[in-house]
Structure 1
Amino acid sequence: MDKMKPTFSKGGKLSFLGSTFEAFETFLFVPDTTTRRGAHIRDANDMKRTMIMVVVALMPALFFGFYNTGLQHFAMLGQTASWWDCTWFGFLRVLPIIVVSYVVGLGIEFAFAQARGHEVNEGFLVTGLLIPMIMPVDIPLWMVALGTAFAVIFGKEVFGGTGMNVFNPALLARAFIFFAYTPSISGETVWYAGLSRGAIPVDGFSGATALEQLGTTGTMAYSPMDAFLGFIPGSIGETSTLAILIGAAILLYTGVASWRSMLSVFAGGLLMGWLFQALGVTAYPAWWHLIVGGFAFGAVFMATDPVTSSQTNTGKYIVGLMTGALAVLIRVVNPAYPEGMMLSILFMNALAPLVDYYVVERNVARRKKRVKLAK
């Protein structure tokens, strides 16, 4: 890499690809840049390493998503298959979605970096994996490409790139596809590999997810344990609450995610669920909301986004509680949107700066009052 570096540096033959070279170099090696004056921070963790930790935390949910994709496919056909057969089938079906997401997203990121002459942002290391994990397995690849392009261009680059975006890019990709191509991301056929493309299921088969069943009948055909472990239809990485909690433990142990945001989202959803239960609006236990749909995945990997979530500690509590409560409110009150988590997080992304503003202003006012009393 050191021998090739002059070729891509200023004055070299390929200097116009300097941003691309820098991206690969810092991905492979820790940058050797040091400060010459002022404070010196000696730490091997840079943005890429932080993003990689999030990718590692996503692995349990992703690997279980491979297995569950195959499990649901063979169950739909009335067949039994081994753990390996289910996992391998799911891997082959999910891998193209991941590849399309990364190729399109990173391609746009590299193009913008080269055009602007700045470093390639590292944020898409996580976004490129989040997008496939919140999609149904039978979604057409061209929709994934279109949604990814929309999220990167209009969700990040128009705001200035990673760290400047207002909305979570992965959720923007899902929202774009949801409103532009609703039948391909909702309903009873998209959660099973091959069902929307002519596969013939066994007699009596129902493709409704647990969340759709709760919204229409007030109960679900799956046991709470199956829902917690993830043996239910749903988006690729969202079904297993257990796998998601393992990822949450990794994020909290490494200090990458805020426990305040994470805990507050679960608390807000549970409180709103209890309220509806107390009012007699729902008959099922409030905690069911936490183990079905994308609630747990959103609470752990979306609501904790350090860019689009609240920046103050008090704000994290407020935004987290409102995110969880709003998600359950949408689920129960508006049957047109049985999920609710996507809209809730995007709405609170827009509201988070306002919450932070009032938290800071409140702290300033309290300190001014304390100074006056001291005088």
Structure 2
Amino acid sequence: MKALHDFVKKYEPSKENKMAHTVFDGFYTFLFQPDTVTSDGTHIKDGMDLKRLMVNVVLALQVLYIFGTWNIGHQHFLALGEHTGLLEGFHLKIVYGLIQILPIFVVTHVVGLGIEFFYAGRKGHAIEEGFLVSGALIPLIMPPDIPLLWLAIAIAFAVILGKEAFGGTGMNIWNVALLARVFIFFAYPTTISGDEVWVSGIEKVGTEYFAASYNWAHGLFDWIFSGVGLSQFGAGGQAVVDGWTGATPLGIAAKEGWEGVTAVYSTDAMFWGGIPGSIGEMSVPLIVLGMIFLIVTKIADYRVIFGGLIGFVVCALMMNAIAPPMDALTEDMDGVFKFMAIPWYYQMIMGSFLFAITFMATDPVSSADTPTGKWIYGFLIAFIGLIIRVMNPAYPEGWMLSILLMNTFAPLIDHYVYQANMNRRAKRTAAMAEQRNELITKRGDLPVFDENSDYVPVGNTSGQ
């Protein structure tokens, strides 16, 4: 390792060349932990710096990248009625998913890190680490067919106006990854809403759906697969199966309730994540695995997560109490009542709540700072988000909006928590003073402080 370190250091440019040295420092600190620690005894000597912390979050996301890559291909072939088993055509699903997700990943990091490098070079300081996590999250919260140009514009907007304008990493008041998504949602809504955008490679022609023709990359892999006797992509362009729908469970639930959802998707498919949706937000077990990792390593604060879980269940139970029982629902009943009647445990596996509360809401920069504030912050994100999901017919998911809203109000939450703490201490101090005065009244004397630092009562100045 020392030989590798010395080899890398040999190419360190002069500090006078700010841009070149900034780029080198960014890669150097990514590869190696700090070689200096606090010299006195007041701090723990640890190699864990901000980059290492961010890398751990990125590591927790890797299982979601693997699953999301497979699910892109799985949903594509389900639409065609081919390789419908989970492991059927596994090689085709992985390759198809990689061809879709790699350009998204590359564009995200080229644009985002490019802007970070530019600002760091202009300021003459080290590259900030904040985009490591944002860059890993953005591909996972996008649909698999997102246009790359619009993705690049959204990332530029989020990084420049959402972070650099406020001073860079640690200064942003909103979650950067969610800013990129909200920009896409409001600037190019047809690319991130509707029933067709969540399944890759499917085009609507008139009233029918067809698979897009495969490109040269698929042809290259067909040549490889044919050599080893595996199934191949073929030409593509065929029609999808009759009755196919790319609608997500939430899109169906907003109109038809739980009965309509289960007519298309099984609870097992929703739990494991084999449904259409954003690339990495679907698999409950893998998200919970990442949640446990972040809590155990103390990278994410458990208060935000558990506060969110409590808020979600409370809001869902309140909606269940307002809505008619599920067995009393009728076809002509308004869809919002059907949605409200869905039990909380089904609501939790239908969408991206667990992903949002684990990886988005726990951002330490944009969330509340006080321990009590974190409980309130997480609770309100879930409570408000579920209301948006159920009550807003145009947007059957609410975590993006609720998290950005609570990012805005996080400082206010902390302010009132601090104020409540100060008021409580002031009352405690006043109560103690009152007790002291009552004691003085009963004793009939007043403690004084003499020059020898001994308390003696009035009328007894001898100190005996």
TM-score exceeds 0.5 = yes
1:9 & 1:140 partners in 2: Cα distance? 39
1:236-275 matches, cutoff 5 A: 236-275=279-318
Aligned to 1:21: 24
Amino acid at match of 1:270: V
Equivalent in the alignment of 1:157? 164
> Which of 402, 406, 410 is 1:344 aligned to?
402
1:278 to 321, 329, 333: 321
**Which protein is bigger by CA-based radius of gyration?**
2
In structure 2, what residue type is equivalent to 1:18? H
Q: Distance in 1 between matches of 2:118 and 2:270?
A: 42
TM-superposition CA deviations, 1:154-194 (whole Å, max 9, x none):
11100111111010000000000000000011111111111
| SS of equivalent residue, structure 2 residue 27 | helix
Equivalenced residue count is 371
Within the candidate set 68, 72, 82, 1:69 is matched to 72
Which residue pairs with 1:327 in the alignment?
A: 385
Identity rate, percent: 47
Task: Select 1:8's aligned residue among 14, 20, 28.
Answer: 14
Distance 1:95 1:16, change over 3 A: closer
Which amino acid in the other structure matches residue 323 of structure 1? Answer: I
Aligned to 2:54: 51
| 1:183-202 equivalence runs, <5 A | 183-196=190-203, 199=211, 200-202=239-241
Q: Is 1:140 equivalent to 2:198 in the alignment?
A: no
State the SS of the aligned residue for 1:287.
helix
CA contact (8 A) 2:37 2:46 kept: no
Structure 2: 5+ residue stretches without partners: 1-7, 205-209, 212-238, 324-336, 434-464
Instruction: Give 1:212's aligned amino acid.
Output: G
Q: d(CA) in 2 for partners of 1:15 and 1:117?
A: 6
Alpha-carbon distance in 1 for matches of 2:243, 2:19: 60
Partner residue in 1 for 2:175: 168
Runs of 4+ in 1 over 6 A off after TM superposition: none
TM-score using structure 1 length: 0.96
Aligned to 1:31: 34
Give, in whole Å, the separation in 1 of the partners of 2:413 and 2:97.
41
Query: Against the structure 1 CA distance between its residues 15 and 179, is the aligned structure 2 distance closer, same or farther, given a 3 Å change threshold?
Result: closer
Matched residue, 1:302? 360
Q: Match for 1:159: what amino acid?
A: F
- The alignment's TM-score, normalised by the length of structure 2, stands at 0.78
CA distance in 2 between counterparts of 1:61 and 1:265 reads 21
Note the C-alpha offset of 1:62. Answer: 1.4
> What is the distance in 2 between the residues matched to 1:349 and 1:20?
31
Instruction: Identify which of 106, 109, 116 aligns with 1:102.
Output: 109
Pairwise CA distance, 1:246:
0.9
Measure, in 1, the Cα distance between the counterparts of 2:280 and 2:302.
Answer: 21
* Equivalent-residue separation in structure 2 for 1:276 and 1:131 (angstroms): 31
CA distance in 2, matches of 1:215, 1:205: 18
Contact 2:18 2:124 in 1 (8 A): no
In 1, Cα distance between equivalents of 2:247 and 2:144? 14
CA deviation map 1:4-35 (0-9, x unaligned): 33x3324xxx3442222211111111122333
Tell me, in whole angstroms, the C-alpha distance in 2 between the residues paired with 1:265 and 1:224: 22
Counterpart code for 2:38: T
Q: Please tell me the root mean square deviation across aligned C-alpha atoms, in Å.
A: 1.4
